[in-house]
Amino acid sequence: MKKGFIVVNAYSGNADYLYQAHRLREEFARRGAAVAVVKNHCGIAGMEKNGKIDLQESGDFAVFLDKDKYLMRLLEKSGVRLFNAARAIEVCDDKMLTHIALAERGIAMPAVLPAPLCYTPEATIGEDYAARVIERLGLPVVVKQSYGSLGKEVFLAQSAEELLALARKFRLLPHFYQQFIPESRGRDLRVLVVGGKVVAAMTRTAAGTEFRSNAARGGRCAPFEPDGETTALAQKIAAALGLDYCGMDFLFGKEGLLLCEVNSNAYFKALERTTGVNVAAAYVGHILQTMA
Ligand SMILES: Nc1ncnc2c1ncn2[C@@H]1O[C@H](COP(=O)(O)OP(=O)(O)O)[C@@H](O)[C@H]1O
Ligand SMILES: [Mg+2]
């Protein structure tokens, strides 16, 4: 049997994050595979003076639950098969890059406008900046940091003043502006794809006036049976990005679903609870089959 390990970020205390590693290890064990959970404290892989990659942890495959792009590349260069692949994780980690990667694939997505970086804290953003964004995307407008999760780095600007305040606050951080989809306010659809197939889906509904429906922000989850068209769409997106495993968020637009974002490391606790689907077993099954 092939040897593998699970890489987790050493600094996340989030219980749902740690739950994933624990559940995957449990499902590997059920199938007779002893797969260790390795914390990425620094030092798993390095490069020597002569360019030789020095691995402290090795195996045939690694379930990569971190997003450390340097470690991912070093492991792949050493021949470790990553689930997901480094390129796929990187493209999904940056929401704006995901949009660009899918641009010519005929996937409906809200319109976006990337924000240029300022690089120096002294840089000033003029009043005309907000007008340029609003002219293209209207109001309210969504402001998102390119890297973010659990709804923490997603904001809704109701006015030019609010937009300007966010643009100034984020001037040194990668971010972008996105058309707000009012029909989907506080509501979205999470679809999970493993090994090219949709395995589970749920709707999420925010409480009160909150516009973000993330389960981590108290969004109520309900099981959802995707129709053939939605299933095909989700599978097409996962294939286009080269993902073994992902959870994607769709917004309910006036004319159908719009892709909001793709999570290469979607938490699956709420989905397992809501749908009764054993997501960890599905992922482990896919990994072991791929590595057989
Ligand atoms: N363009 C949008 N229009 C309406 N609601 C949105 C839009 N973008 C995000 N949302 C809401 O905010 C939530 C979080 O946004 P998302 O891009 O998925 O970030 P995160 O990675 O933090 O989950 C979504 O699940 C959705 O409820
Ligand atoms: Mg999301």
Question: In this structure, what DSSP letter does residue 93 have?
Answer: H
Residue 164 amino acid letter: L
Encode pLDDT of 66-121 as tens digits.
999 999 999 999 999 999 999 999 999 999 999 999 999 999 999 999 999 999 99
Q: Residues spanned by CATH 3.30.470.20 within the chain?
A: 91-108+183-291
Cβ(266)–Cβ(192) below 8 Å: yes
User: Probe ligand 1: pick from 156, 158, 214, 271, max atoms within 8 Å of CB?
Assistant: 214
User: Probe ligand 1: pick from 102, 147, 210, 212, max atoms within 8 Å of CB?
Assistant: 212
Residue 13 has pLDDT above 90, yes or no: no
- Ligand 1 lined by 178 (C-beta under 6 Å): yes
What torsion do the CA atoms of 45, 47, 52, 58 make, to the nearest 10 degrees?
A: 0
Burial tier of 243 (Cβ tally within 10 Å: 0-12, 13-18, 19+): buried
Which of 253, 258, 263, 107 lies closest to 193 in space, CA to CA? 263
Which of 5, 86, 84 lies closest to 283 in space, CA to CA? 84
Encode pLDDT of 19-60 as tens digits.
999 999 999 999 999 999 999 999 999 999 999 999 999 899
For a pLDDT cut of 70, what percent of the chain falls above it?
Answer: 100
- Ligand 1 lined by 150 (C-beta under 6 Å): yes
Distance, in Å, from the CA atom of 83 to the CA atom of 2, rounded to the nearest integer, reads: 14
pTM of the predicted structure, to 2 decimals? 0.97
For residue 187, how many C-alpha atoms fall within 13 Å in the half-sphere facing its CB? Answer: 11
Mean pLDDT of the chain: 97
According to CATH, the superfamily of the domain at 91-108+183-291 is ATP-grasp fold, B domain (3.30.470.20)
Distance, in Å, from the CA atom of 180 to the CA atom of 292, rounded to the nearest integer, reads: 45
For residue 225, how many C-alpha atoms fall within 13 Å in the half-sphere facing its CB? Answer: 0
- Ligand 1 lined by 146 (C-beta under 6 Å): no
- Ligand 1 lined by 148 (C-beta under 6 Å): yes
Q: Residues spanned by CATH 3.40.50 within the chain?
A: 4-85
pLDDT of residue 97: 98
CATH class as words, domain 112-180? alpha beta
Compute the average pLDDT of residues 169-183.
98
* DSSP line for 259-279: EEEEETT---HHHHHHH---H
CATH number, span 4-85: 3.40.50
Angle between helices 160-169 and 128-137 (to 10 degrees): 110
Shortest-distance Cα residue to atom 13 of ligand 1: 212
Q: Residues spanned by CATH 3.30.1490.20 within the chain?
A: 112-180
